[in-house]
């Protein structure tokens, strides 16, 4: 073996011998981008990423009860801050990794117009939204409908998902004609993947600031801190932006 090849092999062995596992609780709306980000991070670092997807509210309860997560990628900014205040997360690790967008979406290519007038016109039986008590996208949906003056009219049509992933599935399966979902679920590289959609104006609801934080259980885990650094990188931001998220100015 040549000296240069030997040194490369030694360096590679040294890097991967210090590889660790990181268990990440990920808000359901961030499923698609996080799967790609995790794959890229594993290739670049040699660390192993285990992902759990679900509602931010459920993750909060699980973390309070000792769930073995190292990192939380929430769908809001309140939950990570609350965990830090309660001593379950590291306050100075907190940052906004994405700002989400709410979209009215239907699997039908003709149902939704470019102004969302279908909400006023009715003509549909069910509207899927995420549980506003557990999912920030659900809270944003309620806020938006209230701002449009349509909440009372449309409330009887609600089909409520536990999280935004289940909400999306209600529409995919046909159990609801349309739903208020995360843009990341229906757009990629700035293009609608299928169906019809209306991007809900950001002025209709509070910003969906999605914060990441290092949890107390992960503070000694080098893979956890490395993952959080990676999420701040330009390559990660480029991928996140491709799924329709914004960033803080």
Q: Residue 73, SS3? A: strand
Chain position carrying tokens 């330009």: 234
Query: 81: part of which helix (H) or strand (E)?
Result: helix 78-85
CB 144 within 8 A of CB 196: no
pLDDT tens-place string over residues 43-52: 999 999 999 9
What angle do the packed helices 78-85 and 56-64 form, to 10 degrees? 10
Write down the domain spans for the chain. 20-99+207-242, 101-204
Nearest to 106 by CA among 95, 120, 119: 119
Q: Rounded to whole angstroms, how far apart are CA atoms 181 and 101? A: 9
Q: Which helix (H) or strand (E) holds 122?
A: none
CA distance 186 to 188: 7
CATH topology identical between 20-99+207-242 and 101-204: yes
CATH topology of domain 101-204: D-Maltodextrin-Binding Protein; domain 2 (3.40.190)
Q: What is the pLDDT of residue 3?
A: 54
Long-range contacts from 76-84, C-beta under 8 angstroms, 24+ separation: 76/136, 76/208, 76/209, 76/210, 76/211, 77/209, 77/210, 77/211, 79/211, 80/211, 80/212, 80/213, 81/211, 83/213, 83/215, 84/213
Q: Which residues of 210-245 are buried (b: 16+ CB within 10 A; e: fewer)?
A: bbbbbbbbbeebebbbbbbebbeeeebeebbebbbb
Distance separating alpha carbons of residues 202 and 35, to the nearest angstrom: 26
Nearest CA to 126 among 173, 159, 164? 159
What is the predicted pLDDT for the residue at 189? Answer: 83
Walking along the chain (249 residues) 10 residues at a time, the average pLDDT comes out as 48 56 95 95 96 93 96 96 98 97 96 94 94 90 98 96 94 97 90 95 95 97 97 95 84
Q: Where are the beta strands (DSSP E) in the chain?
A: 21-27, 48-54, 71-73, 95-100, 102-106, 127-130, 158-161, 178-182, 187-188, 191-192, 196-199, 208-214
Q: Mention the CATH class of domain 20-99+207-242.
A: alpha beta
């Amino acid at each position: 073996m040549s000296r240069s090849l030997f040194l490369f092999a030694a360096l590679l062995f040294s890097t991967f011998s210090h590889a660790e596992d990181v268990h990440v609780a990920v808000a359901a709306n961030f499923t698609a981008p996080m799967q790609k980000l995790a794959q890229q991070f594993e290739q670049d670092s040699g660390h192993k990423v285990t992902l759990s997807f679900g509602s931010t509210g459920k993750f909060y309860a699980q973390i309070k009860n000792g769930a073995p997560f190292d990192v939380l990628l929430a769908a809001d900014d309140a939950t990570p801050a609350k965990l830090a205040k309660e001593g379950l997360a590291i306050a100075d690790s907190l940052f906004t990794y994405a700002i989400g967008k709410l979209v009215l979406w239907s699997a039908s290519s003709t149902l939704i117009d470019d102004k969302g007038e279908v909400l006023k016109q009715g003509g549909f039986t069910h509207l899927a939204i995420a549980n506003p008590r557990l999912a920030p996208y659900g809270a944003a949906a309620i806020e938006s409908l209230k701002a449009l003056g349509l909440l009372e009219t449309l409330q009887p049509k609600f089909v409520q998902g536990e999280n935004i992933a289940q909400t999306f599935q209600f529409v995919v399966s046909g159990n609801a004609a349309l739903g208020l979902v995360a843009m990341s679920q229906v757009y990629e590289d700035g293009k609608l993947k299928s169906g019809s959609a209306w991007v809900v104006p950001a002025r209709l609801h509070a910003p969906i600031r999605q914060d990441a934080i290092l949890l107390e259980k992960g503070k000694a885990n080098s893979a956890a801190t490395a993952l959080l650094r990676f999420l701040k990188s330009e390559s990660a931001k480029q991928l996140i932006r491709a799924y329709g998220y914004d960033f803080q100015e």
